Amino acid sequence: MKKLLVLFLTLSAGLLSARTLPNGENITTHVVETEKMLVDAGSLTISGEGALLEFNINSAPQYSLAMKGSSELLITNGGSLDMNSPSSSAGGIQLNTSSVMTIDSTAGEVYTDKVALASAKAVLNINKENAMVSCSSGVPYVYLTLPSNATVNLNASHAFRLDVRNGITPTIKFANGAVLSVMSWEYNGTSASLKLVDFVDNSIFFSTGDNDDYIYSYEENVLTIKNGSSTKTISILNESGQAFEGLALHATEGGYFLAAAVPEPAEWAMIFGALALGLAIYRRRK
C-alpha cells in the first residue's frame, strides 16, 4: 500500500467539529476531517492519485458533508472520498440549493452511505459505473434520497437504494446504455413520480430482494411496489411530464426490468456485469 502523507485539518483550538469552506478547496493529498464539513461556494475538488478526503465520525451527524449555494463536489483523476461511517444513519452527503456533485469517470473509490438531493436545483452527475459503495455495510450500492424535484445525470450504470418522497418528481437523465438498478426502497409516503429523460436504449432493474421482499406490477404507466403491508406507487413520466407510453415490466431472475422491449442478451450481461463489479469492490475493501 502506498504511503500517504496525512494532513490533519482542524479548526482553531481544535474545539469545533464542523469546518466551513466559504470558497471551496483543492485536495491533492490525504486529508482527515473530523465530524462535518460545510462548503458554501466554489469547488471542493478531490484530485490526484493518493488524494483522499476521509472523515473520522465518532458521533452521528446525518450528513457529514453538506454542499450549499452554488458549490460543487468534484471527485476526479484518482481522487477518493471515504465517509468512514460506523452506521448507515451517519456519513451522508447532502446537496442543497444549486450545488452539484460529480463523480468523474477517472475517480478513485467513493465510500458513503447516502446522497441526498435536498433542493430542486441540486444535480448529481455519475460518470463512473457503480462508483459508490456503502461505507458501513460494504454493499455495492448506497441510499439515494430524492426529497425534491432534483436531477440525476446517469452517464454510467449504477445501483441504489432509492428514496423518492411523496408528491415529488425527480428527473433521471440517461446516457446511452446506462442502467439504473434499484436494489431496495425507502417508504416515505405512498406515491411519487419519476421523470425519465433520454430513456431510449436503457432499462431500470428492480430487485425483488434476497427473500423476494418486493413484489412489482406495472399498469398504465404506474409502478406498484409491495413490501409486506406497505404499498408504494411511482408514476413513470417522459421528459415532457406526461405518462411514458410504450414501457413494460419484464420478469427476470432476481427482479424485473422496466424497458421499452425485452433487453437483449448483451444488455443483460452489461447489467449483471455492473453489479458484479460492485461486489468485487466490496470484496477488495473487506
Q: pLDDT for 211-270, tens place per residue?
A: 788 999 999 999 999 988 889 999 999 999 999 999 999 988 899 999 986 555 555 565
| Sheet order of strands, 52-55 included | 6-8, 30-33, 52-55, 80-82, 110-111, 132-133
Prediction pTM value: 0.85
| Percent of all residues in the chain with a pLDDT value above 90, rounded to a whole number | 59
Section 146-163 average pLDDT: 94
Instruction: Tell me what percent of the chain is helix, strand and coil, each rounded to the nearest 5.
Output: 10, 45, 45
| 286 pLDDT above the threshold of 90 | no
**Residue 158's pLDDT band (cuts 50, 70, 90):** very high
Structure confidence at residue 32 (pLDDT): 81
Residues 6 or more apart whose CB falls under 8 angstroms from that of 191 comprise 166, 167, 232, 233, 234, 235
**Residue 4's pLDDT band (cuts 50, 70, 90):** very low
pLDDT tens digits for 201-212? Answer: 899 999 998 778
CA 149, CA 187: separation in Å to the nearest integer? 17
Residues 6 or more apart whose CB falls under 8 angstroms from that of 147 comprise 116, 117, 118, 163, 165, 168, 188
Section 181-197 average pLDDT: 87
CA 62, CA 70: separation in Å to the nearest integer? 21
